[in-house]
Amino acid sequence: MIILPKEVAGEIYAHVQESYPCEGCGILVGALADPKKVVKSYRAVNLNQERAQDRYLMDPADIARAEREAADMGLAVIGFYHSHPDHPADPSQFDLRQAKQITDAGWPPIYSYLIIAVHNGRLEDINSWVLNVSQGEFEHEDIKTD
């Protein structure tokens, strides 16, 4: 379970709707308690210009900044979000590969991957996923908005 406060959700929704028809992406900062709690979101630049409709590559500088500011607040990067313009809020094979690369690089599989479906520029659906390393696939994670 991941707790997503309404005001943070609102910022994420605004970002991904503005990004349409490209993918918008960003970083989730919060507390790694059980359940996880998002405190703040950071917009990231999508460096993938050629396929910005269905790919994203977050600017590492944006991730580094979020990590620094999270540490200053006694928090951590707990996940990432990105949108699927005119596609369901389910992870693609590309999303799975990216998540596996992160754990293969030695990061613990703690991250939540929020995927937001945006249809015709309007918010349609949101899901959260966590990587199950032993099974090599994503598991659905409940989102609680408060």
**Considering the complex, what minimum distance in angstroms separates the CB of residue 110 from Zn ion?**
19
**Considering the complex, what minimum distance in angstroms separates the CB of residue 61 from Zn ion?**
21
Dihedral sign for Cα atoms in the order 67, 70, 74, 75 = negative
Which residue number, 12 or 75, has a Cβ lying nearer to Zn ion?
12
Question: Cα–Cα distance between 91 and 146 in angstroms, integer?
Answer: 24
Which residue number, 75 or 127, has a Cβ lying nearer to Zn ion?
127
Which residue number, 89 or 110, has a Cβ lying nearer to Zn ion?
89
Give the tokens for residue 32.
């790694």
Which residue number, 92 or 103, has a Cβ lying nearer to Zn ion?
92
Strand order of the β-sheet with 36-44 is 137-141, 122-132, 112-119, 76-85, 25-31, 36-44, 2-4, 143-145
**Considering the complex, what minimum distance in angstroms separates the CB of residue 115 from Zn ion?**
6
User: In whole angstroms, how far apart are CA 59 and each of 15, 27, 56, 65, 142?
Assistant: 16, 11, 9, 10, 27
Closest CA to 74 of 130, 110, 29: 29
Binding site for Zn ion (CB under 5 A): 92, 95
**Considering the complex, what minimum distance in angstroms separates the CB of residue 22 from Zn ion?**
12
